[in-house]
Amino acid sequence: MTSQEARESLSNSFGGKIQRETEFRGETSFTIAASDLHEIAKFCRDELSFDYLLDITSIDNFGEDPRFEIVYHLYSMPHGVHLRLKLRVPEELGAVDTISDIWPTANWHEREAYDMMGIKFNGHLDLRRILMWDGYPYFPLRKDFPLEGLPSEMPDVAFTKVTPMEGGPFVTVPSSAGSKDREPRAHPPEL
């Protein structure tokens, strides 16, 4: 099966459920509704031989509606073909069905998306934080989370004050320049 054959099969089987199809550098992406994810993902595994879930990524489109986008990166080992399934999730919904029953590797990816972005996965058997500690009230990869962090009430676990930008964990480019030049988003623009 080629990438073209996979695209045609998916389009023929789910034509009305595919909102958008794009191709970039030989890799195809299908945008679908969150409600159709489980059915289409199962079809991709069972009928199209996409036997490997490479990754699940989440994007915060802060200020847009729907706010979140989830991207499932699939790969067919027998055929060497990549495929992406994309879906948009409104902030008020904030949940999609788990696919960890289809690809067990989705377990940790979904937990990370929950932990960092606050996106919930219905039917996930162990949806708890994977990087931050239990009880942490924020979602650090959301665009409205400040770069310098937020104070914590847990002195034995994390910073109790806002993290200083100078030499802190949010420096993006090591250099002898000041923090303003290394990380311009940390300071409001001068008028």
Structure tokens belonging to residue 173: 């480019």
Q: Class for domain 3-141, per CATH?
A: alpha beta
What are the tens digits of pLDDT across the range 12-64? 999 889 999 998 887 889 999 999 999 999 999 999 999 999 999 999 999 99
Residue pair 30/86 in contact (Cβ under 8 Å)? The answer is: yes
What is the pTM (predicted TM-score) of this model? 0.79
What are the tens digits of pLDDT across the range 129-160? 998 888 888 899 999 888 777 766 665 555 55
Radius of gyration of the chain (CA): 20
Classified as helix, coil or strand, 184 is: helix
Angle, CA 142 vertex, CA 65 and CA 132 arms, to 5°: 140
Looking at every residue in the chain, the average pLDDT score rounds to 84
pLDDT at 183 over 70: no
pLDDT at 171 over 50: no
Q: What is the mean predicted confidence (pLDDT) over 1-19?
A: 88
Structure tokens belonging to residue 129: 């934080």
Cα→Cα distances 17→69, 84, 95, 110, 127, Å = 17, 15, 19, 23, 28
pLDDT of the residue at 30: 95
The residue ranges of every structural domain in the chain are 3-141, 146-191
Residue pair 73/59 in contact (Cβ under 8 Å)? The answer is: no
Cα→Cα distances 164→147, 149, 155, 161, 174, Å = 10, 9, 16, 9, 16
